[in-house]
């Protein structure tokens, strides 16, 4: 095997490994943390109800990601490829769905993500659930809304280069939104004060998307700079995830990146928590301030078990360095969204790759 073929082979190996891990936006840890923390910013009229159901609100913060590979039309609710519409398009895109459909057509919009518009739709659903005093729906939609607001605060959810795949930074998606919070968020300051009424929730959503999109440059640039100056054999390490030895960004590299970003991940998490609380509160006001303390004792809706669809399996794999299988409500595992089987597939290839080219720089 010639030198060029070896190089090609190893590039392929590494690409396979990098592509083996679908992502879940903010990581499960951060999504749950965000929904939970938002409860504590609610006013006295709301906090009792939300606190009584805080476990539900927390655990179900990731329902939309559980549906992502199983429900048609779900995946596109989690992102917006703002740059697909050209430079500075983020400032010009129609803020209202009907206007956007008129300008671009629904199919084109869905292809590039509909997060800002659909997040607003979820907000409207919450208002209706509160008006109807439908306890099950209030809880389910509040949890969903927290998730979607979380997603629009992740810079890489607003660009076509969502996993650094266009700039040789494959894996950066999960690095930013999962690895950093999982390692460092325990020290973050999540006291964000009380919820505020949003005069224009629709535009507040777009403001959040714009701020996220404006951060894309630094998310990519600082990783690139760091990568150039960091010992390559210290960039990754291996951790056991769900019984599988999984390649992850090393603690040293993660902390260095966090410092280079000057706490950007913490700031975005704080903004998310604030906005989730603001949106829950605003929905309650617009619903006429229903008494949430007398909704009866119905149990919250159980999230349905979703069977993954073959055709949705490979939709937008964002990569999150492998988090292991995603447990469903009943503790079972969904086959398609698990990362383990795919890692098992790619791991022997890496080993083979290292065997045939033992003097390659180690990846761990
Ligand atoms: Zn998501």
Say how many Å lie between the CA of residue 148 and the centre of ligand 1.
6
Expressed in angstroms, the distance from the first to the final Cα of the chain is 25
Q: What is the CATH number of the domain that holds 131?
A: 1.10.575.10
pLDDT at 260: 95
Closest CA to 14 of 235, 230, 180, 222: 235
Say how many Å lie between the CA of residue 66 and the centre of ligand 1.
9
Say how many Å lie between the CA of residue 231 and the centre of ligand 1.
33
Do residues 270 and 192 touch, judged by C-beta distance below 8 A?
A: yes
- On the CB side of 127, CA atoms within 13 Å amount to 14
Helix (H, G, I), strand (E, B) or coil at 143: helix
Say how many Å lie between the CA of residue 132 and the centre of ligand 1.
27
Q: Which residues pair with 245 in a beta bridge?
A: 240
Say how many Å lie between the CA of residue 73 and the centre of ligand 1.
13
pLDDT at 239: 87
Domain contains 13: no
Enclosing domain of residue 52: 23-318+327-356
| pLDDT per residue as tens, the chain (364 positions) | 455 554 444 444 444 333 333 444 577 899 999 999 999 999 999 999 999 999 999 999 999 998 888 889 999 999 999 999 998 999 999 999 999 999 999 999 999 999 999 999 999 999 999 999 999 999 999 999 999 999 999 999 999 999 999 999 999 999 999 899 989 998 899 999 999 999 999 999 999 999 999 999 999 999 999 999 999 899 999 888 788 888 889 999 999 999 999 999 999 999 999 999 999 999 999 999 999 998 876 665 566 666 666 666 655 655 433 333 333 333 333 222 222 222 222 222 222 222 222 222 333 3
Q: C-alpha distances in angstroms, 70 versus 307, 315, 334, 349? A: 6, 11, 10, 29
HEC letters along 263-324 = CHHHHHHHHHHHHHHHHHHHHHHHCCCCCHHHCCCCCCCCCCCCCCCHHHCCCCCCCCCCCC
Say how many Å lie between the CA of residue 64 and the centre of ligand 1.
6
Task: Determine whether 90 is exposed, middle or buried from the number of CB atoms within 10 Å of its CB (0-12, 13-18, 19+).
Answer: buried
Say how many Å lie between the CA of residue 138 and the centre of ligand 1.
19
Domain contains 15: no
Say how many Å lie between the CA of residue 37 and the centre of ligand 1.
18
Say how many Å lie between the CA of residue 59 and the centre of ligand 1.
14
Say how many Å lie between the CA of residue 25 and the centre of ligand 1.
5
Do residues 326 and 28 touch, judged by C-beta distance below 8 A?
A: yes
Domain contains 8: no
Domain contains 364: no
Structurally, the chain folds into a number of domains equal to: 1
Say how many Å lie between the CA of residue 144 and the centre of ligand 1.
9
Domain contains 148: yes
Say how many Å lie between the CA of residue 211 and the centre of ligand 1.
18
Domain contains 312: yes
Say how many Å lie between the CA of residue 246 and the centre of ligand 1.
22
Say how many Å lie between the CA of residue 310 and the centre of ligand 1.
19
Say how many Å lie between the CA of residue 65 and the centre of ligand 1.
5
Say how many Å lie between the CA of residue 154 and the centre of ligand 1.
10
Say how many Å lie between the CA of residue 360 and the centre of ligand 1.
37
- pTM of the complete model: 0.78
Say how many Å lie between the CA of residue 357 and the centre of ligand 1.
39
Say how many Å lie between the CA of residue 121 and the centre of ligand 1.
15
Closest CA to 216 of 29, 88, 316: 88
Say how many Å lie between the CA of residue 257 and the centre of ligand 1.
23
Torsion over CA of 28, 34, 37 and 41, rounded to 10 degrees? -160
> Residue 156 — left, alpha, or beta (φ > 0 → left; ψ -120 to 50 → alpha)?
alpha
Say how many Å lie between the CA of residue 114 and the centre of ligand 1.
12
């Amino acid at each position: 095997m010639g030198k060029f073929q070896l190089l090609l082979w190893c590039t392929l190996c590494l690409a396979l490994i990098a592509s083996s891990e679908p992502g879940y936006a903010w990581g499960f840890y951060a999504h749950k943390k965000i929904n939970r923390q938002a409860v504590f910013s609610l006013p006295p009229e709301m906090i009792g109800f939300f606190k009584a159901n805080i476990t539900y609100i927390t655990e179900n913060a990731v329902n939309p990601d559980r549906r992502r590979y199983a429900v048609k039309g779900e995946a596109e609710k989690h992102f917006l490829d703002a740059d697909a519409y050209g430079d500075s398009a983020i400032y010009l895109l129609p803020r209202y769905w009907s206007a956007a459909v008129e300008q671009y057509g629904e199919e084109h919009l869905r292809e590039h993500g509909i997060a800002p518009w659909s997040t607003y739709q979820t907000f409207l659903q919450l208002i209706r659930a509160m008006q109807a005093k439908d306890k099950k729906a209030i809880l389910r939609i509040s949890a969903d809304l927290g998730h979607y607001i979380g997603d629009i605060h992740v810079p890489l959810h607003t660009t076509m280069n969502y996993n650094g795949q266009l700039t040789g930074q494959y894996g950066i998606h999960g690095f930013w939104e999962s690895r950093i919070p999982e390692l460092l968020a325990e020290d973050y300051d999540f006291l964000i004060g009380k919820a505020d009424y949003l005069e224009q929730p629709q535009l507040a959503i777009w403001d959040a998307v714009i701020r996220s999109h404006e951060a894309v440059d630094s998310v990519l640039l600082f990783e690139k700079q760091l990568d150039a100056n960091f010992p390559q054999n210290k960039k990754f390490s291996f951790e056991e995830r769900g019984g599988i030895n999984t390649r992850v960004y090393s603690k040293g590299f993660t902390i260095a990146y966090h410092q280079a970003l000057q706490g950007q991940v913490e700031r975005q998490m704080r903004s998310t928590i604030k906005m989730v609380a603001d949106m829950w509160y605003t929905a309650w006001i617009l619903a006429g301030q229903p008494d949430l303390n007398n909704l009866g004792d119905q149990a919250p809706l159980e999230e349905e078990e979703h069977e993954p669809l073959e055709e949705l399996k490979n939709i937008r794999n964002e990569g999150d360095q492998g988090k292991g299988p995603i447990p469903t409500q009943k503790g079972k595992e969904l086959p398609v969204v698990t990362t383990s089987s795919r890692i098992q597939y790619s791991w022997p290839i890496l080993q083979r790759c290292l065997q045939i080219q033992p003097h390659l720089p180690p990846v761990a």
